Amino acid sequence: MAFEYAPAPESRSIVDIRPSYGLFIGGELVSGSGGRIKTVNPATEEVLAEVVEADASDVDAAVAAARAAFDGAWGRMPGRERAKYLYRIARIVQERARELAVLESIDNGKPIRESRDVDIPLVAAHFFYYAGWADKLRYAVAGPRPGSQPGGTRPLGVAGQVIPWNFPLLMLAWKIAPALACGNTVVLKPAETTPLSALAFAEICQQASLPPGVVNIITGAGETGRLLVEHPGVDKVAFTGSTEVGRLIARAVAGTRKRVTLELGGKAANIVFEDAPIDQAVEGIVNGIFFNQGHVCCAGSRLLVQESIADELLEALKRRMALLRVGDPLDKNTDVGAINSAAQLARIRELSAVGEAEGASRWSAPCVLPERGYWFAPTLFTGVSQAHRIAREEIFGPVLSVLTFRTPAEAVEKANNTPYGLSAGVWTEKGSRILAIADQLRAGVVWANTFNRFDPASPFGGYKESGYGREGGRHGLEAYLDH
Amino acid sequence: MTTDRIGVRKTYKLFIGGAFPRSESGRSYPVRSASGEFLANAALASRKDVRDAVRAARAAVPKWSAATPYNRGQILYRIAEMLEGRRAQFVDEVALSEGGSDAARTVDAAVDRWVWYAGWADKIAQVYGGANPVAGPYFNVSTPEPCGVVGIVSPQASSLLGLVSVVAPAIVSGTTAVVLASEDRPLPAITLAEVLATSDLPGGVVNLLTGRVAETAPWLAAHMDVNALDLTGVTDAGLATELERAAAENLKRVLRPVQPDWFAEPAIDRMTALLETKTVWHPKGV
């Protein structure tokens, strides 16, 4: 007989979602003057809450609050005292980890296993790591430029930060922790479909007694983001999102004094050589593309497999994909949760249809999808050529394009044949090959015999049209320092 | 009818392997306040206590050095939290031990020192290690590693802040320590041990002995299972030279005596002095 999984739902009673939220400006939740938008649970299409769509006057108020905090106590506070606020935030995130994980899964659709074991622990770790830098900035950068004060590192001022919906609270941490560690103040806009964890973070700032105005959270959609990025009171712009919007931001700041870092799209190659350990590689491929429903800018969305093992690998991969459990994000056994929004689901469906129309062969895992909500079965395409749109464009969903190669040189050629350059994977038992291939890959992060590893100590960011600047590690401080 | 309540006094003992034993020698010595009043009897550690402490420190090396830097950082930060929570007690004890009016400032600085070093746990390798661009097809990277067990003679005058300032940089990177507390002002050290014991710091990572430096330090200096010797608190120049010579037998790394301003922000040299650098080569080629 076959054993079935019993449902193992995580209780949602730990979170208290209010019907309506304001903006977090100057340390208080204020009602804002913009209109309202709704955020829904993508697994059920249930409306969770209404949030403000911040307008120009809201953005003005938030930037003014951030400026006042920067010109006030925060800007003059020694690093060792700033550090203590960041440590407090890290501790409160740890204390409220369960609640935040459940909230994140409800608003985003990601499996509780990931929000609980990946997102939230990394959020706490990121604040903890950058807390430790706040009083060590003179060790952080390579050295002061000639003529500046010895060891002199200064914050930039007010950072305007716009983050995506795929890792809502983690992206908030990646933005806010280094900015505050360096002494900046921030105005952050979470994505329109996932505002709730950022609003919970506003309450964490209050619990930590963070001085008013140091962190300001404004909700809204693309227009709010544009207003923030283009606001003359913003000294530094940090954006994570699509390459298309990244280009708009780069154009918008042209001719200003604003500093910019951009973490954009990707189309990572995951290269499997014939001497790779097949079972480990299969796990890595699955993790690379189906982690977080493939809503990952560094996802291993192009599998490049050496021709000699392609059949064997694909068979093993399909067998593994058929075991993926797709469904209720709050079920602790779920591997693949809900697609974050109807719009994203439409895009995944459209590009998948294009893949078929252009001649690639589609195979989807045989899973039963829930009736309500936004779902897409784990899917792979074989017979993909480099010219196919599914090999060139970021799908940002659980869809893998499989290509083959014969020689290492061909693997590198194909891996680099993309305007993106965020990440790549290499699978082989031969250490010297890993290092030689890694040298030739035009990508900001190369994972060898693993994939989708993240750590606050490790710099992350892309080459080419995947953006510029690095987040994480010592490098992550440079974006927020005037040195 | 009521009577005045009589206070319950604390017995000050050693701290070895996470436990609080008395000296195996059964000896103690009277500790007096800065103004000369009797405060308590402290354990007078012996050669055997030194050896027990080294054994405990060595036993703690595998686990502590293998802990992730993130984990070590959180534990050091936890020590700061626990110390802050007992701030009033430490202010009283430092004031009694050291006299003067700086006790509150001293305790605050000691808490902040733990926080400062906690942050280094996962950063020192990024500042003190890195990729080496060798002329050839090789991956070459240097990383700092803990040296093993360090014996520390902690500062005599600065019984808490000085102690924290020599212990924290030793343990943050995974080294374990046998510490001889300030001879005449040992009480804050033993109370600090109570903080260490309740901060998720594995037993044996820090071992604290009270007693006579001239009696115990030579055993520590000559011990073949000790990798480094920090003589910061040795005030007798002749003894310091003798200890350094003894340390030469197994080529211990030696930090010579200094008397810095413990309130000043430290540099990273106390950490780097207790680190080895390991360089790994690996060929590159398809």
Closest residue in A to B77 (Cα) is: A87
pLDDT at residue A418 is higher than 80? yes
Distance between CA B113 and CA A292 in Å, rounded? Answer: 40
The half-sphere exposure of A122 on its side-chain side, counting CA atoms within 13 A, is 22
Write out the DSSP string of chain B: ---PPPPPPPPP--BBTTB-PPPTT--EEEEE-TTS-EEEEEE---HHHHHHHHHHHHHHHHHHHHS-HHHHHHHHHHHHHHHHHTHHHHHHHHHHHH-SS-HHHHHHHHHHHHHHHHHHTTTHHHHH-EE---SSSEEEEEEEEE-SEEEEE--SS-TTHHHHHHHHHHHTTT-EEEEEPPSS--HHHHHHHHHHTTTTPPTTSEEEE-S-HHHHHHHHHH-TT--EEE-TT---HHHHHHHHHHHGGGT-EEEPP----TTSPP-SHHHHTTEEEEEEEEE---
Q: CA nearest A160: which of A81, A240, A242? A: A240
Nearest CB neighbour to A136, from listed B74, B123, B139: B123
Arithmetic mean of pLDDT, A263-289:
98
Contact B10/A at CB under 8 A:
no
Percent of chain A with pLDDT over 90: 95
Name which of A3-7, A469-473, B180-184 the model is least confident about: A3-7
Cβ–Cβ below 8 Å for B123 and A133: yes
Neighbours of B33 (CB within 10 A): 17
Nearest CB neighbour to A457, from listed B77, B112, B126: B126
Each residue's pLDDT tens digit, A301-322: 999 999 999 999 999 999 999 9
Active-site residue flag, A297 = yes
Contacts of A181 in chain B (CB under 8 A): none
Each residue's pLDDT tens digit, A346-387: 999 999 999 999 999 999 999 999 999 999 999 999 999 999
Contacts of A408 in chain B (CB under 8 A): 286
pLDDT at residue A253 is higher than 90? yes
Looking at this predicted complex, what is its ipTM?
A: 0.94
A122–chain B nearest CA distance, Å: 11
What is residue B3's predicted lDDT score, i.e. its pLDDT? 81
pLDDT at residue A80 is higher than 60? yes
Residue B95 φ then ψ, to 5°: -65, -45
Contact A12/B at CB under 8 A:
no
Q: Suggest the residue from A80, A82, A85, A138 to mutate for an interface test with chain B (most B CBs closer than 10 A).
A: A80
Cβ–Cβ below 8 Å for B285 and A84: no
Each residue's pLDDT tens digit, B150-166: 999 999 999 999 999 99
Neighbours of A413 (CB within 10 A): 13
Percent of chain A with pLDDT over 70: 97
pLDDT at residue A483 is higher than 80? no
Where does the pLDDT of residue A153 fall: very low under 50, low under 70, confident under 90, or very high at 90 and above? confident
Q: Suggest the residue from A135, A428, A475 to mutate for an interface test with chain B (most B CBs closer than 10 A).
A: A135
Cβ–Cβ below 8 Å for B122 and A457: yes
Distance of CA B182 to the CA centre of its chain: 12
Cβ–Cβ below 8 Å for B286 and A437: yes
Contact A138/B at CB under 8 A:
no
Contact A136/B at CB under 8 A:
yes
* Domain boundaries B39-283, CATH class: alpha beta
**Strand extents, DSSP E, A194-274:** 215-217, 236-240, 259-263, 269-272
Cβ–Cβ below 8 Å for A129 and B126: no
Closest residue in B to A409 (Cα) is: B286
Q: Suggest the residue from A77, A137, A139, A426 to mutate for an interface test with chain B (most B CBs closer than 10 A).
A: A139
Contact A477/B at CB under 8 A:
no
Place of tokens 């959180």: B74
Distance between CA B118 and CA B121 in Å, rounded? Answer: 6
Encoded tokens for B180: 């001889």
Closest residue in B to A90 (Cα) is: B74
What is residue A2's predicted lDDT score, i.e. its pLDDT? 73
Domains of chain B by residue range: 39-283
Strand A361-364 to strand A379-382: parallel, antiparallel, or no bridges (unpaired)? antiparallel
Contact A397/B at CB under 8 A:
no
Cβ–Cβ below 8 Å for B123 and A474: yes
CA dihedral for A294, A299, A303, A309, sign (positive or negative):
negative
Contact A322, A365 (CB under 8 A): yes
Contact B115/A at CB under 8 A:
yes
pLDDT at residue A147 is higher than 80? no
pLDDT at residue A150 is higher than 60? no
Domains of chain A by residue range: 23-264+464-482, 269-448
For chain B, positions 234-253, list CB contacts with chain A under 8 A: none
Contact A469, A481 (CB under 8 A): no
pLDDT at residue A145 is higher than 70? no
Ramachandran area for residue B259 (φ above 0: left; ψ -120 to 50: alpha; else beta): beta
Nearest CB neighbour to B119, from listed A125, A133, A408: A133
A140 vs A186, residue with greater confidence:
A186
Of the candidates A182, A205, A297, A298, the residue annotated as catalytic is A297
Contacts of B112 in chain A (CB under 8 A): 80
Name which of A149-163, A297-311, A381-395 the model is least confident about: A149-163
Active-site residue flag, A263 = yes
Arithmetic mean of pLDDT, A155-180:
98
Distance between CA A463 and CA A445 in Å, rounded? Answer: 9
Contact B123/A at CB under 8 A:
yes
Where does the pLDDT of residue A146 fall: very low under 50, low under 70, confident under 90, or very high at 90 and above? low
Nearest CB neighbour to A83, from listed B115, B282, B286: B115
Residue A381 φ then ψ, to 5°: -115, 130
Contacts of B129 in chain A (CB under 8 A): none
What is residue B98's predicted lDDT score, i.e. its pLDDT? 96
Encoded tokens for A167: 């890792």
What is residue B100's predicted lDDT score, i.e. its pLDDT? 86
Cβ–Cβ below 8 Å for A131 and B119: yes
A149–chain B nearest CA distance, Å: 18
Element (H, E) at A48: strand A47-53
* Domain boundaries A23-264+464-482, CATH class: alpha beta
Distance between CA A131 and CA B256 in Å, rounded? Answer: 32
Name which of A38-42, A152-156, A425-429 the model is least confident about: A152-156
pTM of the model: 0.96
Specify the CATH superfamily of domain A269-448: Aldehyde Dehydrogenase; Chain A, domain 2 (3.40.309.10)
What is residue A148's predicted lDDT score, i.e. its pLDDT? 63
Beta bridge partners of B15: B208
Distances (CA, A) of B241 to A341, B180, B225, B246: 72, 17, 20, 9
Look at residue A465 and give its three-state secondary structure: helix
Contacts of A426 in chain B (CB under 8 A): none
Distance between CA B164 and CA B177 in Å, rounded? Answer: 12
Q: Which residues of chain B carry a pLDDT beneath 70?
A: 1-2
CA dihedral for A428, A434, A436, A439, sign (positive or negative):
positive
